[in-house]
Structure 1
């Protein structure tokens, strides 16, 4: 069921990207705590991998919000538009756009005359702001961040406004409408956290410019925890606990129970099919 449902394919892509971001970010954070410096090439590879996976998350959430909008507002066209093939194509487009963005980042980074340096060993910890060497790279980073933030935010807000209008109009009573509203507000909070994470690089740049090293260090940790770590951790919990098919499996894993009843999975599959085939209109 999970392998043949576009919604879970997008969720898997989101979880993979978030996991890569958590691993690379935590690695760089651990190295900085042990006062270990890297060479510019190794730091560049780690930072670009982290940057690539971090930018995939908001774009994947954008595609997921569009998928939900089509499912609610155009239920009869949903099986035709949202297919496995189209979902794979959308995921490839997201990764392709991010790869092009990383290519420009690397191109601007190579403009710096590293051959004039006495050594390629970095004098500071490996963070993204240390690789914004030239003015063109800083301008491009700011423009790229603003573009991703505005585009993803606009699409997600419009999609969820449309879903909310349909949820209110299709509700038979006030209690059902309030439940739909609360669930959408929870998703909006999660999406806002992921969109806010795209603003981490310019925030790090401003923090690095502070003259007080103690204050800068505390702000670095706060930004890292609340804008890098927390959105990625909440992403899996939010979608896992809210989804009726993922909830029993997630709770079972969190409870250290390695077996899930086949009847439970079959029942959740039946509920998912009924939910997707339920008629609705804008």
Structure 2
């Protein structure tokens, strides 16, 4: 459920970014209200990912450090509450963005039609909006990075203990390292906005357009695509099909996939298998 929440946020970010890129390519200028809707959705989806990664890190920490309490703490009800809490905090953040945005006297403008392309820097017109945007982003990533780092340290301490299952701790450690990698990708996406602002100041429109495309691909599209691709390659059931599609659409044998699922179900139904407890915890 947490992974699905992360994928939905990244996919929403990709859709909005691609739409805004297409509008700018075809010189489509929006009104301030419509641009505000797109930018608020973009900010919301961008801020959901770090919070979700922090919750996923806490879940891994509980699984390794408190394995006997894991089924009680991590259940469907608590997971739904965690996801709902993340969305509520992000909605409050978006509400503050809108309040600061409305401080600008739009009624004094001759028209609500924008003179530039729809980007967040075009809407952060007041000094308080810019300060809040910078402070909110820095606080968000510092909080997420601190949670993931503390979870990683806790798992490493448990991994060094002689009385702990080494395989479980090592797997959780690798998962937390993956979360750190995901957080760095999200951080790369936030760096695109100030770079876009600097590119827009260039006097040569041709060079500015080319740099805009390069920054868009490497700092907006690529991190979000790598986020879903990384988790897809990590999943043992999706990895064979995903690799086959990436490698010139080589088809995976249906019998092979069916046999692997049959063996996995047979193993999970065997009560004498010592791997069942470990897999349930992980």
- Fold-level similarity (TM above 0.5): yes
Residue aligned with 1:261, SS = helix
Consecutive unaligned residues of structure 2, counting only runs of 5 or more, are: none
Q: What pairs up with 1:169-184 in 2 under 5 angstroms?
A: 169=161, 170=164
Structure 1 177/28 Cα, relative in aligned 2: closer, same or farther at 3 Å? Answer: same
Structure 1 Cα separation of the partners of residues 222 and 40 of structure 2: 21
Query: What is aligned with 1:74?
Result: 66
Larger Rg: 2
Question: Which of 55, 61, 83 is residue 91 of structure 1 equivalent to?
Answer: 83
The Cα of 1:68 is off from its aligned counterpart by 0.9
Query: What is aligned with 1:261?
Result: 258
Structure 1 106/273 Cα, relative in aligned 2: closer, same or farther at 3 Å? Answer: farther
Q: Over the residues paired in the alignment, what is the CA RMSD in angstroms?
A: 3.3
Summarize deviations over 1:66-106 as a string: whole Å, max 9, x none. Answer: 11111112111111111111110010111111111111111
Structure 1 224/164 Cα, relative in aligned 2: closer, same or farther at 3 Å? Answer: farther
Q: TM-score, normalised by structure 2?
A: 0.81
The Cα of 1:225 is off from its aligned counterpart by 2.2
Matched, 1:230 2:230: no
Query: What is aligned with 1:275?
Result: 278
Summarize deviations over 1:111-170 as a string: whole Å, max 9, x none. Answer: 111111111111101111100111111111111111101111111122123224434555
Question: Which of 129, 135, 146 is residue 143 of structure 1 equivalent to?
Answer: 135
The Cα of 1:262 is off from its aligned counterpart by 8.0
Q: How many aligned positions are there?
A: 269
Structure 1 114/181 Cα, relative in aligned 2: closer, same or farther at 3 Å? Answer: closer
Summarize deviations over 1:253-273 as a string: whole Å, max 9, x none. Answer: 765779763861771793995
Query: What is aligned with 1:117?
Result: 109
The Cα of 1:220 is off from its aligned counterpart by 3.4
The Cα of 1:184 is off from its aligned counterpart by 5.4
Consecutive unaligned residues of structure 1, counting only runs of 5 or more, are: 1-8
Matched, 1:46 2:43: no
Q: TM-score, normalised by structure 1?
A: 0.81
Structure 1 159/21 Cα, relative in aligned 2: closer, same or farther at 3 Å? Answer: same
Structure 1 265/120 Cα, relative in aligned 2: closer, same or farther at 3 Å? Answer: farther
